[in-house]
Amino acid sequence: MVYARIEIDDYSNRVLNVIKAKYDLKDKSEAIAKFIQIYGKAEVEPKVNEEYVKKMLSIEEKHFEKYGHKTMKDKELDKLFGK
């Protein structure tokens, strides 16, 4: 846990109060955490789970073993997407 003392303007204070009320939070610290949880992904990519990456690579490898490394031609893609 990191503790921080911050200064915010009136508008920011009102935003935090709305978030606090909307999500029934007990204080502005929770409101800041909720705001970051909602909007933080737009600024910072979340940490990747290593096990998930290994699973996805395994799925990809099995797919390529089964189907090979084929690429579609433009006409095939257009047909697939109904163009």
In this prediction, residue 60 has a pLDDT band, given cuts at 50, 70 and 90, of very high
Contacts of 19 (CB under 8 A, 6+ apart): 25, 31, 34, 35
In this prediction, residue 16 has a pLDDT band, given cuts at 50, 70 and 90, of very high
Phi-psi category of 25—alpha, beta or left, where left has phi over 0 and alpha has psi -120 to 50? beta
Q: Are 68 and 62 in contact (CB under 8 A)?
A: no
The yes-or-no verdict on residue 22 having pLDDT over 90 is yes
In total, the chain counts a number of residues equal to 83
Q: Are 34 and 19 in contact (CB under 8 A)?
A: yes
Is 0.95 topped by the overall pTM? Answer: no
Average pLDDT of the chain is 91
The yes-or-no verdict on residue 33 having pLDDT over 90 is yes
Residue 3 CA to residue 16 CA, distance in Å, equals 17
